[in-house]
Chain A
């Protein structure tokens, strides 16, 4: 049962077309009614906040790397490289995300520059992942359509846990780099990357592989791990905060529901987490209005929170829900966390057997 259900997540399998036929692909998603003037204010771009945050981010990485190098060979280097690793291997995810949406900066080349840098650090091809993420926004948690479902039903638990050290993502990234460098895409990528964009993918993979080859050559030449600890390595030893943040977004929630209030979480976090995660904890808000820059999401949250389900007060509160849900989904793949909207919230879809969150096989759901 579990294996069959996991196969339904493949974008090259039959569930993709079934979702299209059921009207779940490219569907109309709920959006709160925010006055146009207010939305224009919230969407407005500026360079200041992202320049400030990026200078701090890169400055901290430089400082921690410098201290780590200074103490290289002693245990004192460990905490500095740990901090460097989290900034590199975990925080690059949120920078990749925000710059990928083109909302971090007003100035386009700054956005593009950060996107390229963060894509390299997080080991994601900037082109394929831009298209993958566009699909994630179009078809959030639609089985067979969304390529970015982190916790499937049943969750691939060993992979989820191994990824706290990047042990799934990093080998997969190098496998993809080799595939791309050879001038090919995977079948799933071919589903969402248009032909005109593909040469860019192949070129980037060749450049990235050359950088990693030079890093390894330097490590061998200097007979030191230091080059690998500085470049690439943080994606392993500093990646543990990436799933800690990332799993809060959708894990355990309803699939095939066409309402981000029901399949996405907003979680309150402290200022350090919000800096590392660039306010992606306001994730319902981000999915509902992806054009609002990260630094305006707290204001957007105030605009729409009465339309939504209650906010999770902390990471701890979110995981008290996520872990039991994932464990139960190992044996019951129709289980999911039901989000109840606040009293007075704007209603939207009346659930049907195809869109009630269970994500049963669509042929069976339609027959019900």
Chain B
């Protein structure tokens, strides 16, 4: 049984956007898609460890604010240079207006 943590209220995130969530000194990024689904990934880009929460969400893609590296945040897949290492993803669910993510 994994550890689920409270990430945020579901209305804290706009559709097609991302917010940062910190837990135990670790950074996560929580996304809300255009069709109102929630996703979670590591908070830092795998290229140079910049925070993804300042980046741009376009469809299912998060773009890093530093070098424009792109990931599919629904799968974590790196979509091309300068990111070549996939992003770790975490299961997310909404319950009673709260977003939870499973971190371990």
Binding site for B on A (CB under 8 A): 26, 39-40, 43-45, 101-103, 106, 127, 130-131, 134, 137-138, 194, 196-197, 289-291
Contact = CB atoms under 8 A, between A and B. Distances in A.
Contacts of A196: 84
B81 A197 contact: yes
Chain B interface size, under 10 / 10 to 19 / 20 to 34 / 35 or more: 10 to 19
B9 interface: no
B52 to A, nearest CB: 12
Given A26-B48, A45-B58, A290 B66 contact: yes
Contacts of B42: none
A92 B56 CA distance: 26
Contact of B56 (A131, A137, A194, A291): A291
Contacts of B34: none
B66 A137 contact: yes
Given A26-B48, A290-B66, A40 B81 contact: no
B27 to A, nearest CB: 15
Contacts of A39: 54
B45 to A, nearest CB: 11
Given A26-B48, A43-B56, A102-B70, A131 B82 contact: yes
B37 to A, nearest CB: 19
Contacts of B82: 130-131, 134
B17 A194 contact: no
14 contacts: A43-B56, A44-B56, A102-B68, A127-B81, A131-B82, A137-B67, A138-B66, A196-B84, A197-B81, A197-B84, A289-B65, A290-B67, A290-B68, A291-B56
A214 to B, nearest CB: 28
Which 6 A-B pairs give the minimum distances between C-beta atoms?
A: A134-B82, A134-B67, A43-B56, A102-B68, A101-B68, A130-B81
Nearest to B19: A36
Given A45-B56, A127-B81, 7 more contacts: A40-B17, A44-B56, A130-B81, A130-B82, A131-B81, A138-B48, A289-B65
Nearest to A31: B54
B83 to A, nearest CB: 10
A194 B67 contact: no
Nearest to A101: B68
Interface string B17-30: 10000000000000
B91 interface: no
Contact of A290 (B49, B65, B70, B84): B65
Contacts of B70: 102
A19 to B, nearest CB: 15
Contact of A103 (B54, B68, B81): B68
A44 B58 CA distance: 8
Interface in B55-73: 55-56, 58, 63, 65-68, 70
Contacts of B47: 134
A194 B84 contact: yes
Nearest to A37: B14
Contacts of B81: 127, 130-131, 197
Nearest to B49: A26
A40 B48 CA distance: 22
A208 to B, nearest CB: 18
Contacts of A291: 55-56, 63, 65, 68
A85 B16 CA distance: 43
A40 B58 CA distance: 10
A299 B56 CA distance: 18
Contacts of B66: 137-138, 290
A39 B70 CA distance: 18
B44 to A, nearest CB: 12
Contacts of A134: 47-48, 67, 82
A138 B65 CA distance: 11
Contacts of B65: 289-291
